[in-house]
Structure 1
Amino acid sequence: MDSNQIRMEDEDNVPRRAVDPSTRVAHDPHDDEHQGAVVMPIYQNSLFTFSTYEEFDRAMTGNGDIPVYSRGHNPTVQQLEVRLAALQGGEKARCFASGMAAISTAIMAHVRSGDHVICVNQAYGPTRELLSVFLTQYGVETTFVDGTSMDAFQAAVRSNTRVMYLESPTTQTFRLQDLRACAELARSIGAVTIIDNTWATPCYQNPFEFGIDLVLHSISKYIGGHSDIIGGVLIGSEETISRINRSEYLLLGGVMTPHSASLTMRGLRTLPLRMEKLEQNGLTVARHLEQLPFVRKVNHPGLASHPQHELAKQQMHGSSSLFSFETDLPPEEMKAWAGRLGYFRIGVSWGGYESLVTVGRSVPGYESIQGSIVRLYIGLEHPQVLIEDIMQASHGLDI
């Protein structure tokens, strides 16, 4: 089956066949259970009761998928989990209150005191803090490596390595890891591979194709798509997700609300369509930036100039619209430049409809960067409007 396709479930009047992601997120069968509602209802309740004690016992001693209490299962959230697992090509998914709740649960489910983790050195900042500060209190050690080098991964391996944590591409300098090689190395040492796949989305990268064990996303970004929810999802095998559900998920309590799940399903409807437009917008602006005299380098895996462009084409079916550029100009000057932009808002996060900008000096593993590194998120505005905005703000630069 093509990597861009997922398998439909058997539905009334719908043949069982492979369909593209756009059709999958747009089409639902008629829903008799909810009076033909075209939108899944929000089950805004904390608990579920049973007509007999026998039914209650079955729910309490079963596989945990029957709603009993919304800290465990909620029908609205469950419906989103089914959709996300199918779109990403995994067997089962669990949704969380935030991306960090999904990240911390995934890691903590696979380490114990005395264990060792290998993590790419440009992973999301709070992920690095979880590994380098919080988990060290409990005897878990982490080695941070240059994710572009398999030699670095191999050199970091210890007899107690239990997790290999990936983020491909990273979201500051947009470096990739060779997913197949990482998965093979992890299997050879008995470690689990976990990847943050937020940048590429399920539309443009399926890590399961390359042997990765667990895939996670910050739902707050592209999947939600409207900058109005916080959430995360962890996707993997039936066995792994069920085991995590019985332990870390229930005990840590970072559960998604039914309302957030409903908003996410709304955003999911247009994810493939939005990603097509965002990819086009991002590449248009990135290519223009490559021509500007004050830009030393543009970090975008979709550009032919990216040092891992060939690997990107092998692993991904497209690119998103978050990237960075490097300049010799100091951060103070580039912050003033950012302040002159009219269509880019200054702020963290990304994946919504609005364009964003942040300015920094260096990133982990690349402290040698001189000048500034500017991260741009290209939203759904017309790319020519954004280019003109960049040009008018650049008139005040000392170049």
Structure 2
Amino acid sequence: MYSIVAHDAHDDRHHGAISVPIYQTSLFSFDTYEQFNLARLDEQENFVYSRGNNPTVRYLEDKLAQLEQGERAKCFSSGMAAISSAIMSIIKQGDHVICTHQAYGPTREFLGVYLHKFGVETTFVDGSSLENWQRAVQPNTKLLYLESPTSMMFQLQDIRSCAALAQSIGAETILDNSWATPCHQNPLTMGVSLVVHSITKYISGHSDCVGGVVVGSHRFMDPLMSTEYMLFGGIMTPQTAGLVTRGLRTLPMRMERHETSGLKVAEYLGSQHYVRKVNHPGLTFHPQHELGSTQMSGYSSLFSFESDEPVVKLRAWADHLHYFRIGASWGGFESLINVNALDYNNQQTGSLVRLYIGSEDPDDLIQDMEEAWRSVTQRPSEGETYEQNAGFSQDG
């Protein structure tokens, strides 16, 4: 893993440059029409037009394919561009999809709302139970969509069993691997058809890029590249690819740090009286910890905790934090917090706090939490005017 991201052979073409040059060009010209016509026969392997293939982007794609142990990767302008293209490459009108009910919100909307007008139906299930996937199968089921772990409640799916189920009914599987990254989980080796990532998160790692990637075998990637990728136009620019490549060089080192820091903060929170439950699959008391140990080699630093304290109080706590930024994403160098109401079956049952542990010293983060909590409990009226925004629904 370390050698894959750090090492490149000597590059005579670029005068031995250590960093891959950014090919700031929209097209590539040819000496003769014969060369031009030959290149156009396979625009995904030759450089003709940067909407199809660009050397800077291709370099990043090849590295990501190696890390995920896939045959080919294709980078997109965002995670949703990658996800929607991957889904559309598998399904057609009249098909049925089964998806974990805790998948990323825009993914659920794309499957459950947007594709409905094209005659594609989706059943959302509690993905923690294989039986739920089995019961949801219909004669026209063509895709099982997984996200393991999920990114709010951190629920796992049994990847090998879901992949085997899909194969037994003639369906395919797509798995969002953004949380675990290729450092800790390789779904393609467990039978999954396609893996997707939000490059915006850990892979980039510096909160300065937006992107996505799809990885798989030539069987799935070749038609995706020639159809959905070329027609939808959600390409990654060479400038973004250059920045992401820089971040990729340190991914394994960063993930080691994130794993250690995330577990330390999660264990601390598990001992606090205002925390009802910590959702982190790396903790031994997580209900799916044993499953996680069979399909992941490590853990990242995004997790959540549930609390009986009201949202208004926990948002006031978040306001008092010094090191944590209030924001929606994750995967960069900065720690982040997001506080929402927690709903089970349309009944509010407390608060859900999602934390992303960045590169800061975890002892500083813990001290920050303690000081902020003392400030809030000493001034209980503070924050009462906060607006109660819509919360996270366990039902998706």
Partner of 1:37: 17
How far apart are the structure 2 equivalents of 1:155 and 1:62?
42
Query: 1:330-373 CA deviation, whole Å, 9 max, x = no partner?
Result: 1111111111111000001100000000011126x775561100
Partner of 1:290: 270
Partner of 2:61: 81
Partner of 2:106: 126
Partner of 1:354: 334
- Maintained 8 Å contact 2:302/2:330: yes
Which residue, 185, 190, 200 being the options, matches 1:220? 200
Which residue, 324, 337, 351 being the options, matches 1:372? 351
Q: Counterpart of 1:298 in 2: which secondary structure?
A: strand
* 1:63-212 map, 5 Å: 64-212=44-192
Query: 1:119-169 CA deviation, whole Å, 9 max, x = no partner?
Result: 000000000110111111111110000010111101110011111000000
How far apart are the structure 1 equivalents of 2:41 and 2:264?
55
1:208 Cα deviation from its structure 2 partner:
1.4
The answer to whether the aligner puts 1:317 opposite 2:297 as a matched pair is: yes
- Over 3 Å off, 4+ runs: 365-369, 396-399
Matched letter for residue 22 of structure 1: Y
Partner of 2:365: 386
How far apart are the structure 2 equivalents of 1:385 and 1:197?
29
Q: Counterpart of 2:342 in 1: which secondary structure?
A: coil
Matched letter for residue 256 of structure 1: M
Q: Counterpart of 1:361 in 2: which secondary structure?
A: strand
Matched letter for residue 387 of structure 1: I
How far apart are the structure 2 equivalents of 1:366 and 1:38?
55
Query: 1:222-250 CA deviation, whole Å, 9 max, x = no partner?
Result: 00000000000000001211110111110
- Maintained 8 Å contact 2:178/2:196: yes
Structure 2: segments with no counterpart, 5+ residues: 379-396
How far apart are the structure 2 equivalents of 1:90 and 1:64?
16
Count of matched residue positions in the alignment of Structure 1 and Structure 2: 378
Matched letter for residue 25 of structure 2: N
The answer to whether the aligner puts 1:262 opposite 2:261 as a matched pair is: no
Matched letter for residue 337 of structure 1: W
Matched letter for residue 42 of structure 2: G
How far apart are the structure 1 equivalents of 2:78 and 2:43?
25
How far apart are the structure 1 equivalents of 2:120 and 2:181?
30
Matched letter for residue 375 of structure 1: R
How far apart are the structure 1 equivalents of 2:348 and 2:192?
31
Cα 1:46–1:366 change in 2 (3 A) is farther
Cα 1:367–1:31 change in 2 (3 A) is farther
TM-score when normalising by structure 1: 0.93
How far apart are the structure 2 equivalents of 1:396 and 1:148?
38
Q: Counterpart of 2:353 in 1: which secondary structure?
A: strand
Matched letter for residue 361 of structure 2: H
Partner of 2:387: none
How far apart are the structure 1 equivalents of 2:273 and 2:342?
21
Q: Counterpart of 2:23 in 1: which secondary structure?
A: coil
Matched letter for residue 81 of structure 1: E
1:88 Cα deviation from its structure 2 partner:
0.9
Q: Counterpart of 2:113 in 1: which secondary structure?
A: helix
Structure 1: segments with no counterpart, 5+ residues: 1-20
1:44 Cα deviation from its structure 2 partner:
0.7
1:73 Cα deviation from its structure 2 partner:
0.4
How far apart are the structure 1 equivalents of 2:52 and 2:3?
30
Matched letter for residue 121 of structure 2: E
How far apart are the structure 2 equivalents of 1:137 and 1:360?
31
TM-score when normalising by structure 2: 0.94
1:62 Cα deviation from its structure 2 partner:
2.8
RMSD over aligned CA atoms reads 1.2
Query: 1:177-196 CA deviation, whole Å, 9 max, x = no partner?
Result: 00000000000111110000
How far apart are the structure 2 equivalents of 1:266 and 1:332?
40
> Percent of counterpart pairs with the same letter?
57
Matched letter for residue 363 of structure 2: Q
How far apart are the structure 2 equivalents of 1:214 and 1:368?
36
Matched letter for residue 91 of structure 2: V
1:393 Cα deviation from its structure 2 partner:
1.1
How far apart are the structure 2 equivalents of 1:375 and 1:97?
26
How far apart are the structure 2 equivalents of 1:344 and 1:350?
12
